[in-house]
Amino acid sequence: MEHFDDFGLADPLLRAVKQEGYTIPTPIQKKAIPCVMAGKDLLGCAQTGTGKTAAFALPILHRLGCAPQTGGRRRIRTLVLTPTRELAAQIGESFAAYGRHSHLRSTAIFGGVRQSPQTKALERGVDILVATPGRLMDLMSQGFVRLDAVEIFVLDEADRMLDMGFIDDVRRIVSHLPARRQTLLFSATMPAKVRDLADSILRRDCVSVTIAPEAPVADTVEQAVYFVDQGDKRELLTHVLGDSRVTRALIFTRTKHGADKVTRHLRNASIPAEAIHSNKSQNARTRALDDFKSGKTRVLVASDIAARGLDVDDISHVINYDLPQEPEVYVHRIGRTGRAGVSGIALTFCDPNERESLDIIESLINERIPTISEHPWHSPIPTMRAMADKKPARRPSQRPPRRGGDARGGRSRPAQPAAGRSGGSATASRPERKAAEPSASSSGQRKRRGSRGRRSSSGQSARQQ
């Protein structure tokens, strides 16, 4: 299946795919689309940014379109359950885009916004419903949603769903679905609790599709770590953002309060920035995201609400101002850059107290993140890491060296210090601060992106996080 035409998808879908600018199916699409079209259950292990939305949305639209509902009001024939409002909005937009030439109707429901536009859409009748668990259960209890005609159920980001404490809600919702149905479960990671859930909701003969489990970090993301004391992070951040190659930066803090503080600091330093986190009203979140997407603001500071699912084109840099509590979150955070074949840079600011978290992250991704030490706030490399640097790589045999990898199975330090490159960097004005930042997205490698990332995020919502 080298081209979309090879799948046998209905013409209206192929037209939409073309309009999105997709030519070659991604690996998850190659594997999942034929299975889903054949009506099989699917267990998909794939990170975000792999094109997994189209991997399920296209064959679902195909199946529903091939067997149109006869007579009467439309009933919900597909339910997609997803953990966050942003994801629900994005998946809803994808269904609308891929299904634009079909007669099928879809809508997304999520908390944090007034329910009446959502209930009106439901009353008009929809074939495909994308929902977060909380709002779905609310609207079910009010009688706006019935799930007894669902033919296909998608559980998206199952690991995240469980991490966020939605397991009981998920099970309750599943109990309202017809037993005879097609089920697709997607998860970035497959811990035991996700497997248990999968065992209980998927048919025994389900197809398992795993995309690059050995390489949770896309090859298109160049990573680097700065060792810096917590108190110096602000200065370092201003310094890094001074680099003109930082064209669109997403900064992650551990807390909402931290996101606000960093945003204030940047504004005081005359760097326009917006914060996005769950204490912000939905309108403020939508506005911040729209401004970021349109390029009005270059810097968005986020708590982990945005770590998953946020689909913004051309984020040149992800900056981990704080290390995340959960190592997996690191992978999701940096997955906001380097999407769909476009290269990106992920920089991590690590205080000595965070070094253990860094070690765990490096174990998880099975690579050593190169250090940038040539900056004025460099805090001496913590002992554990210094020792580790002298040791051979961890588990070298488990993974072949990756692009740019060194002999230890990890990545070598970026070859060219930014200061030595044309285009200038924040570090260039002071030669002694040669930061070894890899250059941002090389345009030659850019893959044509679909329109999804450019779509308006209006209607996106905020409650789950």
Chain residues in the site for ligand AMP (CB under 6 A): 22, 24-26, 29, 48-54, 311, 339-340, 447, 449-450, 452-453
Q: How far is CA 113 from the centre of its chain?
A: 22
245 vs 339, which CB is nearer to ligand AMP? 339
Residues near 80 by Cβ (< 8 Å), separated by ≥ 6? Answer: 56, 91, 95, 128, 129, 130, 131, 154, 156
CB of 449 to ligand AMP, least distance (A): 6
396 vs 453, which CB is nearer to ligand AMP? 453
Question: From residue 47, how far is each of 39, 218, 223, 352 by CA, in Å?
Answer: 23, 9, 18, 30
26 vs 441, which CB is nearer to ligand AMP? 26
CB of 320 to ligand AMP, least distance (A): 21
90 vs 371, which CB is nearer to ligand AMP? 90
CA angle 92, 333, 229 (to 5 degrees): 150
50 vs 460, which CB is nearer to ligand AMP? 50
419's tokens: 């200061």
CB of 10 to ligand AMP, least distance (A): 17
242 vs 341, which CB is nearer to ligand AMP? 341
Strand partners, 252: 302, 320
CA distance 83 to 110: 10
Query: Is the separation of the CB atoms in 207 and 43 below 8 Å?
Result: yes
**Residue that the structure tokens 């990545």 belong to:** 411
CA distance 283 to 116: 16
128 vs 271, which CB is nearer to ligand AMP? 128
CB of 395 to ligand AMP, least distance (A): 28
CB of 103 to ligand AMP, least distance (A): 23
CA distance 324 to 194: 21
CB of 245 to ligand AMP, least distance (A): 22
CB of 193 to ligand AMP, least distance (A): 23
CB of 32 to ligand AMP, least distance (A): 11
151's tokens: 């033919």
CA distance 261 to 250: 15
CB of 90 to ligand AMP, least distance (A): 7
Query: Is the separation of the CB atoms in 177 and 201 below 8 Å?
Result: no
Q: 132-168 burial, b for 16+ CB within 10 Å, e for fewer?
A: bbbbbbebbeeebbebebbbbbbbbbbbbbbbbebbe
84 vs 427, which CB is nearer to ligand AMP? 84
CA distance 350 to 362: 13
CA angle 406, 411, 417 (to 5 degrees): 105
162 vs 315, which CB is nearer to ligand AMP? 315
Q: Helices in 176-281 by DSSP H: which ranges?
A: 192-201, 233-241, 256-268
Which among 305, 339, 338, 301 is positioned nearest to 320, based on CA atoms? 301
85 vs 411, which CB is nearer to ligand AMP? 85
Q: Helices in 243-337 by DSSP H: which ranges?
A: 256-268, 282-294, 327-334
Rg (CA), the chain: 22
2 vs 205, which CB is nearer to ligand AMP? 2
CB of 439 to ligand AMP, least distance (A): 22
